[in-house]
């Protein structure tokens, strides 16, 4: 239930902070406000919050440093960042360190509510690759960056985990035996349309890529790719409007 989910809203702009808090409360969340990063860190030291929504640009201590302090105190906290400025370095560093997503102001209240709902579910990023070493290595890289992640080596196992409701984002290999990425994605769409899917492949398979994009995949990454590129794609996918 949402009324059991505690959310901390951190923003030095009082009007913005109060508006976000009021709308989250109307949705049934238990909301606390903090006027800056220092107050947020103090609150986090004293009590747990499932989701923290924080502005990036604040006086005294910025949102990124606030996030870093929060993760040291409460490693299981999920943090959503907001910004009205093109602070590419801070945004990029936050994403590389496991921020759930970054919302660009202005955004609709409905958009924020859906992102918070997704963040509160504490689901994982699932890596699906028939090469066990690739699947495990990619999963370990995500975990090292602060992302909850798991890995499987076939489409059927991915479908089962989505059916259980444990998956937020699926990083899905295109070319796999028995059940390829397109066949797997078709099943996933029938089970949970809210799961974001990022395709990946080491082959030149334009037809499969085309089918994946038509089925709503966020992007197709060409192997080998940088983990930073995957982290950015995951953050963008989680921050898009749409079903929670």
> Does the domain spanning 124-238 belong to CATH 3.40.50.300?
no
pLDDT digits (tens, 9 = 90+) for 118-140: 999 989 999 999 999 999 999 99
Q: Using DSSP bridges, classify how beta strands 101-104 and 51-55 pair: parallel, antiparallel or unpaired.
A: unpaired
Residues of the chain with CATH 3.40.50.2300: 2-120, 124-238
Phi/psi class of residue 69: alpha, beta or left (left: φ > 0; alpha: ψ in -120 to 50)? Answer: alpha
Q: Looking at residue 4, what is its pLDDT?
A: 84
* C-alpha 102: how far from chain center: 9
φ, ψ for residue 101, nearest 5 deg: -165, 170
Class of domain 2-120: alpha beta
Q: Looking at residue 241, what is its pLDDT?
A: 72
Q: Looking at residue 105, what is its pLDDT?
A: 86
DSSP class per residue in 131-194: SHHHHHHHHHHHHHTT--EEEESSHHHHHHHHHTT-EEEEEEES--SSS-HHHHHHHHHHH-TT
DSSP class per residue in 15-27: HHHHHHHHHHHHT
> Which residues of the chain carry a pLDDT beneath 70?
1, 3, 86-88, 242-244
Of the candidates 217, 116, 125, the residue with the CA atom closest to the CA atom of residue 166: 125
């Amino acid at each position: 239930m949402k009324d059991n989910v505690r959310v901390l809203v951190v923003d030095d702009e009082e009007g913005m902070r109060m508006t976000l808090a009021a709308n989250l409360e109307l949705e049934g969340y238990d909301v606390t406000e903090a006027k800056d990063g220092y107050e947020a860190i103090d609150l986090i030291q004293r009590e747990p919050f499932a989701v923290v929504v924080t502005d990036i640009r604040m006086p005294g201590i910025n949102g990124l440093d606030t996030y870093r302090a929060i993760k040291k105190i409460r490693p299981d906290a999920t943090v959503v960042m907001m910004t009205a400025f093109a602070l590419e370095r801070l945004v990029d560093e936050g994403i590389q360190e496991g921020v759930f997503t970054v919302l660009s102001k202005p955004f609709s209240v409905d958009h924020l509510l859906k992102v918070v709902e997704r963040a509160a579910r504490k689901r994982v990023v699932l890596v699906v690759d028939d090469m066990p070493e690739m699947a495990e290595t990619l999963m370990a890289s995500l975990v090292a960056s602060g992302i909850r992640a798991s890995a499987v080596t076939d489409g059927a196992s991915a479908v089962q985990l989505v059916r259980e409701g444990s998956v937020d984002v699926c990083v899905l290999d295109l070319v796999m035996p028995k059940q390829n990425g397109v066949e797997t994605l078709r099943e996933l769409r029938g089970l949970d349309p809210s799961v974001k899917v990022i395709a990946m492949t080491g082959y030149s398979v334009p037809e499969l890529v085309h089918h994946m994009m038509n089925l709503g995949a966020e992007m197709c990454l060409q192997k080998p790719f940088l983990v930073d590129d995957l982290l950015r794609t995951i953050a963008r996918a989680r921050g898009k409007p749409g079903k929670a």
